[in-house]
Amino acid sequence: MTRRTAPAAPGAPARGEGGYLASASDLMIGLLFVFIILVVVLALEQRRQAIEIEASKNELRGQADPRGKVTDTIGQAMLAAMPTVRIDPVTGVISLPEDVLFPIGRAELGAQGRAALHAAVDGLVEVLPCYVANQKVASGCAGNRAGHEIDTIYIEGHTDSRPMARGAYDNTSLSLDRARAVHAALVEQSPLNGYRNRLAQPLFSFSAYGDKRLLPGIDPTDARNRRVDLRIVLTYRTPSELEATLTRARAADAAASR
């Protein structure tokens, strides 16, 4: 006996077509699901980047006066060796008191002054490398997350307004010789002599002003005018460079915490 299969009703899907449509539907749903996941991931990444940018801006606002922070850090490192050092973050100046360094009217370092400068080198060697181009280390510079660099540190000699009584040897000559003496003891005879800025130039230099830059608000003959200053000058960096450095620092922190 032969069995005949009834013909399919008009408009009904052919055999196997329903399975094909179901597979296509599942594929479309899967693609839609993947698309939704990608959109969510993209949105989260954009949110993360926006948070990082805002964090960078906030941190940059806190870096409004980076020279002041660097000056204070360096000055604090010298206080143990020279307790009467004066630190002025506003001007970026650290003043070394003359009475510790030199006999009055002389440019030869006394034993106390030479010992104080040698001791100050130890403090400077601890903090300066994080701010010096050829001394930077990969870690251990948490206090300089923005990557600030020092372009130069001027050793500046100053006197009070009382004129020298040694013929052609005037206040400018005295202040220059004192600045040169500090440079020799602090830099030339120490590891600081190898410190270089990003242009491979020596970090330290010296200059002299005699009585031309007296301290404001005090008598011109006041002993505080007789000083040797360390003036900190930072390498200029644009806000975008600073922001990029801070972003990299946060990324490194995040990677280290994983």
187 vs 53: CA distance, rounded Å: 40
Neighbours of 107 (CB within 10 A): 19
- Domain presence at residue 181: yes
Q: Which stretches in the chain have pLDDT values below 70?
A: 1-22, 49-64, 138-140, 238-258
Residues linked to residue 94 through DSSP beta bridges, in sequence order:
87, 230
> Residue 102 in contact with residue 109, Cβ under 8 Å?
yes
Separation between Cα atoms, residue 129 and residue 133, nearest integer Å: 8
Same structural domain for residues 203 and 107? yes
168 and 84 in a common domain: yes
| Strand partners of residue 155 | 206, 230
Based on the domain organization, do 167 and 202 belong to the same domain?
yes
Q: How many CB atoms lie within 10 A of CB 96?
A: 23
How high is the pLDDT of residue 6?
53
Is 101 a domain residue?
yes
- 176 in a structural domain: yes
CATH number at residue 208: 3.30.1330.60
Residues 185 and 207 in one domain: yes
pLDDT at site 105: 86
Is 4 among the domain residues? no
Total domains in the fold of the chain: 2
Report DSSP letters for 61-97, one per residue.
HHTSSHHHHHHHHHHHHHHTT-TT-EEETTTTEEEEE
119 and 38 housed in the same domain: no
* Chain CA centroid to CA 59, Å: 12
As a whole number of Å, the end-to-end CA separation of the chain is: 76
Side-chain-side CA neighbours of 132 within 13 Å: the count stands at 22
* pTM of the predicted model as reported, rounded to 2 decimal places: 0.70
pLDDT of residue 216: 92
| Crossing angle of the two packed helices 17-62 and 239-257, in degrees rounded to 10 | 120
Range of the domain at 27: 17-62
Among 156, 153, 157, smallest CA distance to 232 is for 153
Query: What is each CA distance from 227 to 5, 21, 48, 131, 255, in whole angstroms?
Result: 114, 91, 51, 25, 47
> Is residue 134 one of the residues assigned to a domain?
yes
Same domain, 22 and 119: no
Answer yes or no: do 54 and 118 share one domain. Answer: no
Examine the domain organization and report whether 104 and 83 are in the same domain: yes
pLDDT at residue 244 in the model: 65
Judge if 176 and 197 occupy the same domain.
Answer: yes
Mean pLDDT over the full length of the chain? 83
> What is the per-residue pLDDT for 11?
55
